[in-house]
């Protein structure tokens, strides 16, 4: 499928003005294809040639202004059109193919009850898999959608849906206001629905019928969050909510976290919790709800003109999601969660060769294929951090005034970075254009390091600033409590502005030097921070004694960066976690530190011969955390203990008893975790997996079973999993991911050795054959990340030089190889130093 390039889009936007789509879908033609009939009315502003996009299984008929065109003129996904100036009407009739990879119209049959569902995910350019369209974001139009579905199905869409009287299985979706093609949404199936009304609008939740009890259990919480966030956005934004309903559908095998379709937000159905979760995971779900709701204004009402400005969608929704959830609901720790769970994603992405500015130049995003690669930690986490810094710099009042000016000027239209900056400039006396040039048009992470010295009458602090951005930060000053050196007492918090250009001016402060100088306390900016030696000693011995969770998150992130940069021995990070985490009561921090310690420190940053000791440390830490009175902390501890234990007899006893002493009763998610660990360690077999699947025959159970089967340390099991991944195209996207996640295991290196050189050519071939979603999955989940070896790196670099991977796979491989190279550097640095800084 040729990628649409920017020049083509600009040319087409000058030539045509699209008014209206009338789309009729027939979902009764079997399991492989569906019918799509599309009528588009548009105006050619001058005579000229252009094209409409469609990706059919079979193109039956094309009619332009009553004149039949030859369907054989379709060139891949482009149907050429020669136009006279004036009004036009285009009719396209086709059979389209259902997707099994989460792109286009994805079809899924529930293994629990045999019921079938279909939903669209049309982002970037996949609308062409469902309907003919002039597929670019600045050709907005009004949509009218009807559909024919099996009699027992419900059809949902961007507006209020109604069954057409006397039309068996016929549904009509209300007319939309002007929206971009990628925002069209349809979801069809025997949905379980919970409905209510708020602010005069219908609200609804939808899921598969087999998940109905779980959705019903959480419906009150989900509606409460939705209502509270909706009301807060109405307070913040002068522009009213622009659509006629607000429905949320939790759909199976969804590739993203969620999608901001106007009026029908789709979420990955993992947010319908089947098993026990922590409050932090509930907070994450709430943030995603708030994030997607922000898109109703940032992205849906006002849409980017071209994909270089995706930050106008994602960075704003990310920032507003965390901020509004904290303001409107009981989830007040959102920015701690952001610091722990999202900030590292941004820092990591911004230090790879694939980094890019938050708002890249137009030349850097020449087509849709390159644009798709920019949906990453920079566009989300770094962009949101930049906006948080902007708010700290200009103030929330001016920030909101600029946003509302932007909405008013571009409602139901398209806008650029320049448009937004002009709106901000009208609302503040700050030079926001200069700020944007320094923050949004540059890449890379700044580093801030304190230099502390004695000074007559007090002490002196100099901040060494590596980088060029201005930063407004708070500096936290802390002392150890005299009666309890493990507890830190705040002395002061000093706000300072770093220009990024002038030489730093030392601060002279009264009294003795503090035990801890914490730069960027409160996490207002996006920068790596370092410690002076005395501060690091305090952190290592008393980090858990910092009184504020966000301050502790900043310190843990700094320790994480020190490990990644080879400045702190990985074992020292584990020691800090072992001593400080038992004092931690913030779930986001506990989960974040345990996750980094397990997947990065133990599995990648320490040599293989030190991994057993690291896992033993994590097991001991998890057992300590089991004594916590908080259910969420005990659940996090149980998950960590299962993943780090190598005591197969104990693991088997827990599975048999259906309980871990001190922990919760085992639910399906925990039982599958236990079985996976036993499979990895060679103490489970195919019969065990089959028996557990009988116990949990759900879609999640099928995925877990696939993960466990691929993890078995058996040559036949590995070869079977490999063939399913790379030779057989029947796996859906989720089953592919699960199989890939089970395949590579550090404990099985000898068994897996011969697969390492097979991975790269197999992934390249798969990506070319199965498309971007599976290409990304092959690079993300099927990559042998555990194999921190020079030959893994060498083979990968050879692949990038010679094997011509698709853009989606190339980006994933480039990032994975950069992470692998970093891990090798951490190994080398650790070999030269003792396990202390």
Tens digit of pLDDT for each residue in 650-673? 999 999 999 998 888 899 999 999
CA distance 360 to 179: 24
Q: For the domain bounded by 1-190, which CATH number is listed? A: 2.60.40.1730
The three-class DSSP label of residue 299 is coil
Question: Torsions phi, psi of 676, nearest 5?
Answer: -60, -45
Place of tokens 């020079």: 790
- pLDDT higher than threshold 80 for residue 258: yes
Place of tokens 């083509």: 8
Q: The tokens of 483 are what?
A: 């009666």
Q: The tokens of 335 are what?
A: 């920015």
The three-point CA angle 655-660-661 to 5° equals 140
pLDDT in tens, 22-50: 999 999 999 999 999 999 999 999 999 99
Q: The tokens of 464 are what?
A: 């060494």
In this prediction, residue 834 carries a pLDDT of: 63
Q: What percent of the chain has pLDDT over 90?
A: 95
Q: 247-260 burial string, b = 16+ CB within 10 Å, else e?
A: bbbbbbbbbebbbb
- pLDDT higher than threshold 60 for residue 640: yes
Cα 283 to Cα 279, 695, 832: the distances in Å are 6, 30, 42
The three-class DSSP label of residue 88 is strand
Q: Largest Cα–Cα distance of the chain, in whole Å?
A: 90
Q: The tokens of 241 are what?
A: 């909510």
HSE-up of 69 (CA within 13 Å, CB side)? Answer: 21
CA distance 312 to 302: 9
Helices vs. strands in the chain: H and E counts, helices first = 28, 28
Check residue 263 and report its DSSP letter. T
Q: What percent of the chain has pLDDT over 70?
A: 99
Place of tokens 């030079």: 431
Question: Torsions phi, psi of 42, nearest 5?
Answer: -155, 165
Query: How confident is residue 457, by pLDDT bands cut at 50, 70 and 90?
Result: confident
- pLDDT higher than threshold 90 for residue 837: no
CA distance 436 to 417: 9
Query: How confident is residue 305, by pLDDT bands cut at 50, 70 and 90?
Result: very high
pLDDT in tens, 307-321: 999 999 999 999 999
pLDDT, greater one: 787 or 457: 787
pLDDT in tens, 5-24: 999 999 999 999 999 999 99
For residue 565, how many other CB atoms are within 10 A of its CB? 16
Place of tokens 């939808």: 206
Report whether 355 contacts 377 (CB < 8 A).
no
Report whether 295 contacts 304 (CB < 8 A).
no
pLDDT in tens, 370-392: 999 999 999 999 999 999 999 99
Check residue 822 and report its DSSP letter. H
- pLDDT higher than threshold 70 for residue 835: no
CA distance 244 to 634: 43
CA distance 56 to 78: 11
292 is catalytic: yes
Query: How confident is residue 699, by pLDDT bands cut at 50, 70 and 90?
Result: very high
- pLDDT higher than threshold 90 for residue 167: no
Query: How confident is residue 803, by pLDDT bands cut at 50, 70 and 90?
Result: confident
Place of tokens 């990070």: 573
Q: The tokens of 333 are what?
A: 């720790």
- State the chain's mean pLDDT as an integer: 96
In this prediction, residue 166 carries a pLDDT of: 82
- pLDDT higher than threshold 70 for residue 190: yes
Q: CB burial class (10 A; 0-12, 13-18, 19+) of residue 32?
A: exposed
CA distance 719 to 318: 41
Check residue 166 and report its DSSP letter. T
Q: The tokens of 656 are what?
A: 């048999």
Average pLDDT (77-85) is 98
In this prediction, residue 833 carries a pLDDT of: 78
Q: CB burial class (10 A; 0-12, 13-18, 19+) of residue 636?
A: buried
In this prediction, residue 501 carries a pLDDT of: 66
Beta bridge partners of residue 197, listed in sequence order: 202
The dihedral through the CA atoms of 656, 659, 660, 662 has a sign that is negative
Cα 433 to Cα 362, 394, 422, 481, 527: the distances in Å are 17, 13, 8, 46, 21
User: Would strands 527-529 and 484-498 be described as parallel, antiparallel, or unpaired?
Assistant: unpaired
Query: How confident is residue 244, by pLDDT bands cut at 50, 70 and 90?
Result: very high
CATH classification of 191-445 is 1.10.390.10, yes or no?
yes
- pLDDT higher than threshold 70 for residue 448: yes
Cα 365 to Cα 82, 120, 352: the distances in Å are 28, 25, 18
Report whether 153 contacts 192 (CB < 8 A).
no
HSE-up of 388 (CA within 13 Å, CB side)? Answer: 26
CA distance 618 to 118: 42
The three-class DSSP label of residue 674 is helix
In this prediction, residue 410 carries a pLDDT of: 98
The three-point CA angle 126-170-147 to 5° equals 10
- β-sheet with 16-26: strand ranges across: 67-69, 58-64, 86-97, 33-44, 16-26, 142-148, 170-173, 161-163
Report whether 774 contacts 733 (CB < 8 A).
yes
Spot the catalytic one: 281, 292, 584, 747.
292
Closest CA to 27 of 111, 98, 114, 93: 98
Report whether 711 contacts 752 (CB < 8 A).
no
CA distance 782 to 805: 15
CA distance 381 to 11: 33
Cα 81 to Cα 70, 75, 89, 342: the distances in Å are 11, 12, 12, 45
Q: The tokens of 213 are what?
A: 């009890």
- pLDDT higher than threshold 90 for residue 393: yes
Q: CB burial class (10 A; 0-12, 13-18, 19+) of residue 86?
A: exposed
- pLDDT higher than threshold 90 for residue 500: no
CA distance 490 to 486: 13
Whole-prediction pTM value? 0.97
The three-point CA angle 623-624-630 to 5° equals 100
């Amino acid at each position: 499928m040729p990628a649409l390039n920017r020049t083509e889009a600009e040319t087409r936007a000058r030539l045509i003005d699209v008014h209206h789509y009338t789309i009729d879908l027939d979902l009764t033609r079997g399991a492989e294809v569906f019918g799509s009939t599309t009528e588009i009315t548009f105006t050619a502003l001058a005579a000229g040639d252009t094209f409409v996009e469609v990706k059919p299984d079979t193109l039956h008929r094309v009619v332009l202004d009553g004149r039949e065109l030859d369907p054989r003129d379709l060139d891949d996904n482009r149907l050429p059109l020669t136009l006279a100036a004036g009004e036009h009407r285009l009719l396209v009739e086709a059979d389209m193919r259902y997707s099994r990879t989460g792109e286009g119209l994805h079809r899924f049959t529930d293994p629990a009850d045999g019921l079938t569902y279909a939903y669209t995910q049309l982002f970037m350019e996949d609308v062409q898999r469902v309907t003919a369209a002039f597929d670019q974001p600045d050709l907005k139009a009004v949509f009218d959608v009807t559909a024919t579905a099996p009699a027992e199905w419900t059809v949902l869409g961007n507006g209020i849906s109604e069954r057409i009287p006397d039309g068996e299985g016929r549904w009509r979706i209300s007319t939309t206001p002007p929206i971009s093609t990628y925002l069209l949404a349809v979801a069809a199936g025997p949905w379980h629905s919970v409905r209510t009304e708020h602010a005069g609008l219908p609200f609804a939740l939808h899921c598969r019928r087999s998940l109905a009890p779980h959705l019903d259990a959480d419906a009150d919480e989900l509606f409460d969050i939705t209502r509270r966030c909706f009301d807060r956005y109405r307070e913040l934004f002068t522009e009213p909510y622009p659509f006629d309903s607000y429905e949320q559908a939790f759909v199976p095998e969804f590739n993203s976290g969620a999608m901001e379709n106007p009026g029908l937000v789709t979420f990955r159905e993992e947010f319908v919790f089947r098993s026990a979760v922590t409050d932090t995971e509930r907070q994450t779900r709430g943030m995603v709800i708030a994030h997607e709701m922000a898109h109703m204004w940032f992205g849906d009402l006002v849409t980017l003109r071209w994909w270089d400005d995706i930050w106008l969608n994602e960075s704003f929704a990310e920032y507003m999601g965390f901020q509004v959830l904290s303001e409107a609901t009981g989830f007040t720790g959102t920015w701690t969660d952001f610091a722990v769970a999202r900030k590292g994603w941004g820092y990591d992405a911004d230090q790879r060769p694939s980094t890019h500015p938050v708002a890249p130049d137009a030349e850097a995003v020449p087509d849709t294929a390159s644009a798709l690669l920019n949906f990453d930690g920079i566009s989300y986490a770094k962009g949101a951090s930049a906006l948080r810094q902007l708010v700290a710099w200009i103030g929330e009042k001016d920030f909101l005034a600029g946003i509302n000016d932007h909405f008013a000027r571009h409602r139901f239209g398209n806008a650029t970075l320049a448009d937004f900056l002009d709106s901000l400039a009208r609302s503040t006396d700050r030079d926001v254009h200069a700020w944007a040039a320094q923050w949004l048009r540059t890449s890379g992470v700044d580093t801030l390091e304190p230099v502390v010295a004695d000074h007559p009458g007090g002490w002196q602090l100099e901040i060494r600033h590596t980088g060029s951005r201005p930063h407004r930060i708070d500096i936290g000053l802390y002392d150890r409590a005299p009666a309890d050196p493990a507890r830190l007492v705040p002395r002061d918090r000093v706000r300072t502005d770093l220009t990024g250009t002038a030489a730093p001016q030392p601060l002279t402060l009264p009294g003795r030097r503090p035990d801890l100088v914490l730069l960027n306390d409160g996490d207002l900016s996006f920068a790596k921070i370092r410690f002076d030696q005395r501060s690091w000693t305090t952190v290592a011995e008393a980090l858990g004694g910092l009184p504020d969770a966000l301050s502790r998150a900043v310190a843990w992130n700094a320790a994480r960066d020190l490990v990644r940069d080879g400045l702190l021995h990985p074992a020292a990070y584990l020691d800090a976690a072992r001593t400080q985490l038992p004092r931690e009561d913030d779930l986001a921090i506990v989960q974040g530190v345990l996750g980094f310690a397990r997947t990065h420190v133990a599995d990648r940053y320490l040599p293989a011969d030190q991994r057993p000791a690291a896992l033993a440390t994590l097991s001991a830490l998890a057992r300590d955390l089991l004594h916590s009175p908080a259910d969420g902390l005990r659940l996090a501890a149980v998950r960590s203990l299962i993943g780090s234990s190598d005591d197969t007899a104990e693991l088997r006893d827990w599975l048999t008893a259906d309980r871990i002493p001190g922990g919760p009763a085992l639910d399906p998610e925990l039982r599958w975790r236990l079985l996976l660990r036993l499979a990895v360690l060679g103490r489970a077999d195919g019969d065990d997996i089959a028996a557990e699947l009988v116990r949990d025959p759900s879609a999640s159970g099928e995925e877990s079973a696939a993960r466990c089967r691929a993890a078995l340390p058996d040559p036949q099991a590995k070869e079977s999993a490999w063939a399913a991944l790379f030779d057989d195209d029947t796996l859906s996207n989720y089953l592919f991911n699960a199989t890939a996640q089970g395949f590579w295991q550090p404990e099985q290196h000898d068994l897996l050795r011969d697969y390492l050189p097979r991975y790269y050519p197999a992934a390249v071939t798969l990506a070319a054959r199965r498309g971007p979603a599976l290409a990304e999955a092959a690079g993300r989940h099927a990559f042998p990340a555990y194999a921190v070896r020079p030959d893994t790196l060498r083979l990968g670099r050879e692949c990038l030089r010679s094997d011509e991977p698709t853009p989606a796979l190339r980006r994933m491989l480039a990032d994975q190889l950069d992470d692998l190279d970093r891990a090798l550097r951490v190994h080398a640095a650790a070999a030269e130093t003792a396990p202390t800084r």
